[in-house]
Structure 1
């Protein structure tokens, strides 16, 4: 197991490092970068990532496997490992084998040409009926079932999905893909299936390093894939791997091969082209790191933008409150000004409600000393029959009189009249209020 010291240069947090180690223990995957890549694709959900790997080991397509737009597969003839073994019955060697090869090539070309012309004419006349031809997934499942019934249930785990799905999974998981095309009537097919593919070393090695996909070329899905790889002999095996961003055929094996030699060939191919997967993982890690950096930068920018927007909002809110307070202040000042103007008009109008001061010799005259809150003393005579309201208006109209007040005696203190208290009768006379010849009244400013 690789030691994850200093995050192995992967730039992981402590929590992510712990998840990588747990994932490594649970799955047995030794390559730390592979563990990190799988967890990262699953948003660091350990449970989902582990379950996904278990599904893959059982040959089930991943949840991300799709039929849409499978990646194109190219064949690199310059660096491709090609292995060919003549048929064990000798039909592929000597003059007989040469003649058979020429005939096979001629037959393949003629058959492909005639079939292509027929298919084009059929589609032109009848339309595209590909949806009614075969079910690719059912073709694969039928092949696996027939294989196990005829040969053995001991074999590398077959991928239980279509060719398009396994291509997408291999590209996403950054794993080698081993494609096996099966032909029932090929002379070496039974021997290869019973001896090679069922060998424990082959099973262990293929399950560890590859997605293993197979199909019978007699089925619709197998025939379609066979046309892409164009095998000339069977059994046929090809190795596909992501190279320079494209799924590339890096090895072809035709004919029978014993288990030890088969594992050796696969080992050589994996050893040579594994560097492409490592480079792809590094590129993916760099892309994820750049994406993460951009995400953090975007988040920091958005956070800064939100902070600026909040400052602007608070500034606008403060400005609005100040303007509202200023408007309120102006409104209150205007209202106060109107109130004072109204009081001034009322005081002018109230002069008419003040009775004429009686003569000092009048028998019903009462002499009052009225003390205002400002200290001014006013002497005024009223008749006993005058109402207390007359005294009120007299004080109200006086230049030093307050706007809102009550009339009281000093001792004992009694409130004789108050405009704001409806208990006092406006028709209450001075005599009824208990005032006699000479009295001193006090004016209390209710607004003070």
Structure 2
């Protein structure tokens, strides 16, 4: 039976191609279980069938050199057609094999443009895994940083590797979603490139990129990598994980001219302008003022204990600060305009805190549901493996017992006992044995019929009830001659 990984590959192949299961299995086996090559082979076959069904047009170019050589050879073969390259700036002829249509090559002058995987072609597979051309910023990386600074947006970088199926899944499952596109366009400059493009090579050297797909958030002001998503596991290439990671990052960081990301901030620098409660900021400033005043009061007490009178400047400064603080508090409490603004700000902060709490609760529920689904799937796989192991063991026992069983004697042979065996699953089986056969022969036949081990059942004479346990005794020793009935009972 195929393993769980082979079944997953077969299911993925059928979901992408809608092919017949037999053809899918053959293509996976012929490509040594490589899912990407198998899918590519399927669409290549379909496109080749379409090519062979279409008549030759004027756009088909015959390789004259090959034609002349073949005319001079002893065996005449069909000429190989060529298709013109579709590049705008550079024309290049490529040989088109009837069994498979080649995709146009990328010119080096277009290496900084949007990433188009070479091995997808223009058929159905190319449409399923096509990169988000309407979302991708096509200019250089430095221009993407400049645009991020102008529009006050983070730069979301995605580097993809040709032939990496996880990169294709990222295009199909995440970047193609219309809701995610709107979310990214509102807060990010999306910059996607092939790892071998002219733009991506210096980027990989600068940020030490060595695993793909690579998804990271870049600060456009400093060029610092402030967030990198962990996409080593295919389970992470899903909407919930990527969207929740980006949402959490936006909640913790605000991009403006005064703030920097929290991940790159020094611990001793206070955070200003981010998602903080304004009451906390006011309370911190008041706390600092109180600390300063407390230090001044402590100095005054220490001076009095030392019987040193305060200087005139120290005395006037202390009471001046105290009077200013009292006057400020009184004006703030009695001013109706300030009181109204304070209440409005507190309401806004409470509403923001409630919205953030709701979002966090929703993301936690989604994450919990995802974990439950994974656990349920793992439990199903474990049970399936156990069933497969039990079934394999049963078949092995049956094959072993079949090799040692004697042929059934003819019906009219002398000294033949016809036994009626009632099996544990309710079936009734009639089989002939020699009355000189030992009881072990009957046990071997039961194992062959049921797949049970010898320790899992016993043979019982129904009336009077008697358990047969001596395997070396013959049927004649147990008076089981001519015709008899036995019950196969599980222990």
Q: TM-score, normalised by structure 2?
A: 0.32
Higher relative contact order (CA 8 A, sep 6+): 1
